[in-house]
Every structure is written in structure tokens, then in C-alpha cells.
């Protein structure tokens, strides 16, 4: 997306900050641009700076400057969110994202660049978004998936699925793995924001990697650094992994429409938590910046918690209600 040709300098500075200093992905930066472009266009319409009949998508934002932004009020922000709701462009998740973008933008102007003395939207409420529990494979389904891997590329695919299910890596982290990422029983993972974390490999992972490397060593590769490559000898892509996971799920007799590579990450997290890994350790394994992101897994039904509840010596103590005449 060529946002540089459309953006005023104040927006370019913000996007560059998130792209370079914060290390956010291009997709995230693009979303910031789209959210703020929509907001700027609405503000120009609201303030009568363009004719009322101007087509929304054709409103230029290149003249937006700090004086324009200095006059933004909290009521205008709420009007903008109401406008999006009326136009049918905003569900709860979208509202939360746009509010987050606006918060980040005005915080940048007030605390990073100090172009604004006061943050005009500091009091903006954060919408409550209902978080669905992550879908995941059971232990038996995970074993079923792994045991069904056969045919062409079986060593590679088995290794990829094993890393997803044991280490909980993101698909972006997996496709960026290099040969040098594996050192003895550790794997060096480049996560979000270019943050590196070290994961320890269990025996299943080490054996799967070992089997794949034997096959890989007999290939003449175009990308010699990539850990996982395609039949064309190039680094495997996100799309390629997604397609492979769907194919292997179907072959295992599982509903491929319900699961994805990201659901395999959820599976790893759930199985670790159900088998004694504490939530803070899980946070480190998954590479979450905030504990509350990891804590969604603590709401998943856990048989161990049920057993613990039944094991309490007071579990069978029950006081019958006193019968009282006349009471229903």
C-alpha cells in the first residue's frame, strides 16, 4: 500500500515510528493508515472544509497539519464513531481497533513528538469487546493429525506440525526460521516487534527436525538459509503453510474449516496449560507482551481443575435447607 503518496507529514512520522522504532508489521502499519485516513476525511466533512456532496473516498488528507489536530475534541471523536456505526462500517471489534489507533496517534503527538501540549482524547472510553475462547484440537485429535501425515513432503510437514503443536509458534515466526535458528535443543524465534525469544525443543521436536534435515540436505536449494523450503527449493510462504495445514487436517479426518495454523498455536498453549505450565511461563513461550493476552487460555475448560474441585474434602459436605412451615 502506497500510503506515502497520500499522507501528510504528521501522519508519515507516526507510521514511520511504528514501522521502525516499534517494529510493527507492514499489515499493522497499513491498518493505522486506513483508520486515520478515514478519521481525517470525516473531520474535513464535519468541519465543512470540503463540499458536503464530496465523495468520501476522494477527500484528500494531505493538508492535515498539527493546527488541524490541535482543535480535535472528544465530542468529535464520539461523533466519528457514531457516524461509522450509522453507516454500517463498525462492529465492536472494529470500534475497539479504531479507538486504539486514535489513542496511539494522539499519544504519539503529545508524548513522543510533543507537538501537542495536551492529548485531546485522553478521556476516550475503550469499548468492551467480548473475546471468544480460542478453538483448539484435543490431545487425541493432535495425535491423530500427526499420525496421519504421509506421502510427499511428509518429513517437512510433520516437522512443521510438530513445532506448531509443541512450541506454539506463530506462522510468521515459523516461515522465518533459518538453519541457524536451531542450536542443539534450542530454537531462536524472531517474534512480533523484532523481539527474539529462545524456545527449548523437546524430544519430539528434535527428532522431527532431525528427520527433516536429512531430507533437506539432499536438496539443491535456492534459499540455503531457510529451514523450511518448498519443492521449488525456495523458502516456504505463509500461504504455503496455510494450504498444507488445511490439507493435512482434511487427510486426518478433521474439519479443516474449523482449524488453521493459528489454531494449532492455540492447541499448544491449551495443552501446556492443562498439563501444569503456569500462565507466566506460557506467556514467555508464546511471546505475548501482556499477561492478559495469555490469560484467555485460563478460561478454557480444564479437566484437571474439575478433578481438583472434586478432591476437596468439603466436596461432599452439604447442609440440607431447614424445613419451614409455610415456606415454598
CB 166 within 8 A of CB 202: yes
Please pick, among 188, 192, 206, 238, the residue that the annotation labels catalytic. 192
Give yes or no for a contact between 293 and 131, defined as CB atoms under 8 angstroms apart: no
Full strand arrangement of the beta sheet holding 196-200: 182-183, 186-190, 196-200
pLDDT 10s digits, 23-55: 777 778 889 999 999 999 999 999 999 998 899
70 touches 116 (CB < 8 A): yes
What confidence score (pLDDT) does residue 82 get?
A: 85
Rounded Cα–Cα distance for residues 282 and 197 (Å):
13
Q: State how far the Cα of 202 lies from the Cα of 190, in Å rounded to an integer.
A: 19
Residue indicated by cell numbers 504455503: 240
pLDDT at 95 over 50: yes
Q: What is the pLDDT of residues 245-254, one digit of tens each?
A: 999 999 999 8
pLDDT at position 321 is 53
**Mean of the per-residue pLDDT values for the chain?**
82
Split at pLDDT 50, 70, 90, the class of 309 is low
Catalytic residue (choose from 18, 235, 265, 266): 265
pLDDT value at position 192?
77
Q: What pLDDT does residue 158 have? A: 93
Q: What percent of the chain has pLDDT over 90?
A: 40
Q: In whole angstroms, what is the distance from residue 110 CA to residue 79 CA?
A: 22
Average pLDDT on 109-130 reads: 80
Query: Is 288 among the residues known to form the active site?
Result: yes
Lowest-pLDDT range, 99-113, 230-244, 279-293? 279-293
Q: What is the pLDDT of residue 298?
A: 60
82: left (phi over 0), alpha (psi -120 to 50) or beta: alpha
CA distance 18 to 16: 5
Mean pLDDT for 270-286 is 74
Coil, helix or strand at residue 190: strand
Give the pLDDT band (50/70/90) at residue 21: confident
Among 98, 170, 216, 235, the active-site one is: 170
How does residue 227 score in pLDDT terms, banded at 50, 70 and 90? very high
Q: Which residues of 124-138 are buried (b: 16+ CB within 10 A; e: fewer)?
A: beebeeeeeebebbe
- What crossing angle do the helices spanning 154-167 and 261-274 adopt, rounded to 10°? 50
Give catalytic status of residue 297 as yes or no: yes
Answer yes or no: is pLDDT of 22 > 60: yes
Distance CA 189, CA 167 (A): 10
Q: Is residue 327's pLDDT more than 50?
A: no
Predicted TM-score (pTM) of this structure: 0.57
Alpha helices in the chain (DSSP H): 9-16, 26-46, 66-70, 74-86, 92-107, 139-147, 154-167, 171-175, 203-217, 238-251, 261-274, 279-286, 291-294, 303-311
Q: Grid coordinates representing 109?
A: 503527538
pLDDT higher at 178 or 265:
178
Q: What is the pLDDT of residue 196?
A: 82
Up-side HSE of residue 124: CA atoms within 13 Å toward CB? 28
What's the confidence (pLDDT) of residue 292? Answer: 61
Per the model's pLDDT, the better-predicted residue between 167 and 325 turns out to be: 167
Residues paired with 186 in a beta bridge: 183, 200
Q: Report yes or no: 153 and 247 within 8 Å, Cβ to Cβ.
A: no
Whether the pLDDT of residue 264 is over 90: the answer is no
Active site residue 188: no
**Does 305 score more than 60 pLDDT?**
no
Q: What percent of the chain has pLDDT over 70?
A: 81
Rounded Cα distance, 31 and 25, in Å: 10
Higher pLDDT, 86 or 132: 86
Mean local confidence (pLDDT), 140-145: 90
What is the mean predicted confidence (pLDDT) over 72-80?
90
Q: Which of 22, 206, 247, 262 is catalytic?
A: 262
CB-CB neighbours of 327 under 10 Å: 7
Check if the beta carbon of residue 148 is closer than 8 Å to that of residue 133: no
Would residue 265 show up in a list of annotated catalytic residues for this protein? yes
- Catalytic site residue 47? no
Would the pLDDT of 156 be above 90? yes
Q: Which residue has the higher pLDDT, 284 or 161?
A: 161
Contact 159, 207 (CB under 8 A): no
For residue 212, pLDDT over 80 is answered with yes
| Contact partners, residue 80, CB within 8 Å, separation at least 6 | 39, 42, 43, 46
Residues 6+ apart with CB under 8 A from 241: 160, 171, 174, 175, 261
170 is annotated as an active-site residue: yes
Q: Which pLDDT value is given to residue 132?
A: 58
Amino acid at each position: 500500500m502506497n500510503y506515502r503518496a497520500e499522507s501528510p507529514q504528521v501522519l508519515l512520522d507516526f507510521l514511520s515510528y511504528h514501522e521502525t522504532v516499534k517494529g510493527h508489521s507492514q499489515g499493522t502499519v497499513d491498518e493505522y493508515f486506513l483508520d486515520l485516513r478515514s478519521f481525517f476525511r470525516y473531520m474535513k466533512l464535519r468541519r465543512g472544509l470540503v463540499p458536503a456532496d464530496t465523495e468520501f473516498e476522494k477527500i484528500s488528507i494531505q493538508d492535515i497539519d498539527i493546527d488541524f489536530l490541535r482543535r480535535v475534541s472528544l465530542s468529535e471523536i464520539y461523533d466519528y464513531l457514531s457516524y461509522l456505526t450509522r453507516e454500517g462500517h463498525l462492529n465492536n471489534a472494529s470500534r475497539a481497533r479504531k479507538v486504539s489507533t486514535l489513542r496511539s496517534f494522539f499519544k504519539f503527538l503529545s508524548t513522543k513528538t510533543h507537538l501537542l501540549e495536551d492529548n485531546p482524547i485522553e478521556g476516550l472510553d475503550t469499548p468492551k469487546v467480548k473475546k471468544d475462547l480460542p478453538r483448539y484440537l484435543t490431545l487425541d485429535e493432535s495425535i491423530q493429525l500427526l499420525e496421519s501425515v504421509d506421502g510427499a513432503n511428509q518429513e517437512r510437514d510433520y516437522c512443521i506440525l510438530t513445532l506448531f503443536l509443541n512450541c506454539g509458534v506463530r506462522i510468521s515466526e515459523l516461515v522465518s526460521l533459518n538453519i541457524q535458528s536451531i542450536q542443539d535443543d534450542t530454537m531462536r524465534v524472531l517474534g512480533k516487534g523484532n523481539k527474539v525469544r529462545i524456545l527449548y525443543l523437546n524430544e519430539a521436536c528434535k527428532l522431527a527436525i532431525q528427520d527433516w534435515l536429512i531430507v533437506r540436505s539432499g536438496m539443491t536449494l535456492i534459499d540455503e538459509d531457510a529451514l523450511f523450503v518448498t519443492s521449488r527449493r525456495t523458502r516456504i510462504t505463509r500461504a504455503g503453510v496455510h494450504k498444507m495445514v488445511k490439507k493435512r487436517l482434511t487427510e486426518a479426518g478433521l474439519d479443516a474449516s474449523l482449524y488453521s495454523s493459528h489454531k494449532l498455536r492455540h492447541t499448544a498453549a491449551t495443552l501446556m496449560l492443562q498439563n501444569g505450565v503456569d500462565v507466566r511461563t506460557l506467556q514467555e513461550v508464546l511471546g505475548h507482551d501482556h499477561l492478559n493476552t495469555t490469560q484467555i487460555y485460563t478460561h478454557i475448560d480444564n479437566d484437571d481443575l474439575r478433578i481438583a474441585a472434586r478432591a476437596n474434602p468439603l466436596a461432599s459436605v452439604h447442609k440440607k435447607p431447614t424445613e419451614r412451615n409455610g415456606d415454598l
